[in-house]
Amino acid sequence: MTKLVYLHEPGVLCNLARRYGFNEIYTYTGRILIAVNPFAKLPHLYDMHMMEQYKGVQFGELSPHVFAVTDASYRAMVSEDRSQSILVSGESGAGKTETTKLIMRYLTFVGGRSTGDIRSVEQQVLESNPLLEAFGNARTVRNDNSSRFGKFVEIQFDKSGRISGAAVRTYLLERSRVVQISESERNYHCFYQLCASEQDADKYKLAHPRNFNYLNQSHTYELEGVNEAEEYLKTRRAMDIVGISFSHQEAIFRTVAAILHLGNIEFSPGKEFDSSAIKDEKSKFHLQMAADLLMVDGSLLLSTLCYRTIKTPEGNIVKAVDSSAAAISRDALAKTVYAQLFDWLVDNINMSIGQDMESRALIGVLDIYGFECFKYNSFEQLCINFANEKLQQHFNKHVFKMEQEEYKTEEINWSYIEFVDNQDILDLIEKKPIGIVSLLDEACMLGKSTHETFAMKLFQNFKAHPRLEKPKLSKTDFALSHFAGKACSMTSISCKTCLEFHCF
């Protein structure tokens, strides 16, 4: 890119397209690697021979490659004795997760011990990927294997530059997907894998996904070229390698099955006004299954869903809820159980792999999920987009602000590159005491808040804020103009996120 005569957007895009035409999917712009998703298997790009080639070679000497960036980061860690991090960003389906896996594979190649031990730290680190993907990835309209969580993998190295431990930190798992999926999308892969698992599916009284409310909303069950029964065995194998005990594995899948049964519990109006009862025999069966699998009392589970306990200074008041509120409680329980299961799985992976408290330095790899803008955006999208705004700010700081500082100290006269500083939207969201999150906190504490009052409060506090807009036909929505510019072209695209407050 730096060799282009005219460095402008059409030139950059043309260069990328021409290179892509020759299967040159990687390009550098300075020290930033641009990868264009090939959507095809290119094994020759990633085989052992390729890894050997890039090992220890000066950055920029060979063709641009993800191994070159990883090698540079590893060498910098060894020679400067400083931790490094690699940030992988891009829109959904761009190839972040695949790239992250390649980075991890290269690091296990240069920092591995080559013992051939299937339970080595390196192998455990690599196998944590399919495991996390089974529970945290799903089909979306953009990607059959879309990560619905963010992940920061820390690979720790000892004094001799060998991998000595690892830790996985995850962020913002999309909880709403457990109970609600849009047309042509799917729920998390693990549900379909378990349904296809034959013996285990029988054991937990599961059947084809079309029989479960949490899976049949989108009428999409299969993934092209994927055999779910085989994937189930792969997930089990990954669990073995990572070091998750058999009894824990059983507990994990028991919980997954319980969630599916939970989703099939339906309610009808109860005898009294504003009360609810279990709908029919089918629902009773699923209630009992869910209770048995979760090892709780069935009738207690039912009354927990159909009644609400309100704490008052005079004591607890138990109040019946109507059937739609009971269904909301059921879904809240399913989402919470799944999110806890996911966090527990991550903790277990970390415990099994083990941390090296005395590690010399580490290389962190960040694979978060990109900016999102759907027809309806909930609190989850607000959080994801906020995280992306933060990353954008970080990127701006590093690449532009620091570069400008360097030019200033060297007294080089140059016309400053313009970049859009997104501090104003960060302030709008996070500033204390008045920002969207603080106002939301306040609204949640006041018992009388409604979607309307919250939206009103926002518009009162941020009158004529350039980033905040009130959609014409709604009293509860608000629109945020995010910064979602692409790093390579530095264009700033304003994308509006209407937040449906209902989802809070």
Ligand X SMILES: Nc1ncnc2c1ncn2[C@@H]1O[C@H](COP(=O)(O)OP(=O)(O)OP(=O)(O)O)[C@@H](O)[C@H]1O
Residue set of the binding site for ATP: 90-97
Catalytic: which of 15, 29, 63, 93?
Answer: 93
**Closest distance to ligand X from the beta carbon of 287 (Å):** 35
Cβ atoms < 10 Å from Cβ of 359: 18
Our answer to whether residue 92 is catalytic in this structure is yes
In the complex with ligand X, which residue's Cβ is closer, 113 or 486?
486
Phi/psi-derived region of residue 220, left when phi > 0, alpha when psi is between -120 and 50, beta in every other case:
beta
Label residue 112 left, alpha or beta by phi (over 0 means left) and psi (-120 to 50 means alpha): beta
Indicate which single residue of 97, 156, 359, 381 sits in contact with Mg ion (rule: CB under 5 A): 97
- In order of 73, 107, 161, 239, 243, the CA distances from 113 in angstroms are 19, 11, 10, 22, 19
94 binds, among ligand X, Mg ion, none (CB under 5 to 8 A by kind): ligand X
Residue nearest to ligand X (CB): 95
The least CB distance from residue 96 to Mg ion, in Å, is: 5
Shortest gap between Cβ of 95 and ligand X (angstroms)? 3
> Which helix or strand (DSSP H or E) is residue 100 part of?
helix 96-111
Which of ligand X, Mg ion, none lies near 370, with the C-beta cut-off 5 to 8 A by kind?
Answer: ligand X
Query: Which among 361, 342, 321 has a CA at the least distance from the CA of 159?
Result: 361
Q: Determine the residue type at 256.
A: V
The DSSP-derived string for 298-314 is: HHHHHHHHHEEEEEETT
Smaller CB distance to ligand X: residue 434 or 488? 488
Strands (E), 72-147: 84-88, 137-138, 146-147
CA distances to 145, 162, 165, 319, 487 from 355, in Å: 29, 13, 5, 48, 34
For binding to ligand X (CB under 6 A), which residues are involved?
37-39, 41-42, 90, 92-98, 143, 145-147, 369-370
Query: What percent of the residues of the chain are helix, what percent strand, and what percent coil, each to the nearest 5?
Result: 50, 15, 35
Backbone angles phi, psi at 409, to 5 degrees: -65, -30
Q: Which stretch binds Mg ion (CB under 5 A): 93-101, 113-121, 381-389, 487-495?
A: 93-101
**Whether residue 146 lies in the annotated active site:** yes
Q: Which is nearer to ligand X, 95 or 130 (CB)?
A: 95
Residue type, 116: G
100 binds Mg ion (CB under 5 A): no
Chosen from ligand X, Mg ion, none, partner binding at 38 (C-beta under 5 to 8 Å by type) = ligand X
Give yes or no: 97 in active site.
yes
Nearest residue (CB) to ligand X, 96 versus 105: 96
In angstroms, the CA 145 to CA 334 distance is: 22
Q: Which of 84, 147, 275, 481 binds Mg ion (CB under 5 A)?
A: 147
Three-class SS state of 451? helix
Tokens of 383: 């959080």
Which residue shows structure tokens 């277990």?
A: 348
Instruction: Name the minimum Å distance from CB 24 to ligand X.
Output: 12
Residue 98 interacting partner from ligand X, Mg ion, none (CB closer than 5 to 8 Å by kind): ligand X
Among ligand X, Mg ion, none, residue 430 binds (CB under 5-8 Å by kind): none
Q: 146, 235, 276, 350: which is the annotated catalytic residue? A: 146
Smallest distance, Å, CB 143 to ligand X?
4
The one catalytic residue among 140, 147, 220, 235: 147
Q: Is 220 a catalytic residue?
A: no
Is there a catalytic annotation at residue 11?
A: no
CA nearest 93: which of 41, 39, 45?
A: 39
How far apart CA 459 and CA 169 sit, in angstroms, is 36
CB 393, min distance to Mg ion, A: 22
Q: Strand, coil or helix: what is 322?
A: coil
Assess whether 497 carries a catalytic annotation. Answer: no
Burial class (CB in 10 A: 0-12, 13-18, 19+), 478: buried
Total residues contacting Mg ion by CB under 5 A comes to: 3
C-alpha closest to that of 190 among 149, 235, 145, 157: 235
Q: From the annotation, which residues make up the binding site? A: 90-97
Least distance (Å) between residue 151 CB and ligand X: 10
Which of Mg ion, ligand X, none interacts with 485 (beta carbon under 5 to 8 A by kind)? none
CB 283 within 8 A of CB 266: yes
Is the bond leading into 433 cis (omega within 30 degrees of zero)? yes
Would residue 99 show up in a list of annotated catalytic residues for this protein? no
- Single out the catalytic residue among 143, 164, 170, 323: 143
Q: Which of 27, 73, 89, 97 is catalytic?
A: 97
* DSSP H or E run through 503: none
Cross-strand partners of 29: 32
Active-site residue identified among 370, 378, 396, 500: 370
Q: How far is the CB of 128 from Mg ion (least distance, A)?
A: 14
The set of catalytic residues is 92-93, 97, 143, 146-147, 370, 372
- Chain residues in the site for Mg ion (CB under 5 A): 96-97, 147
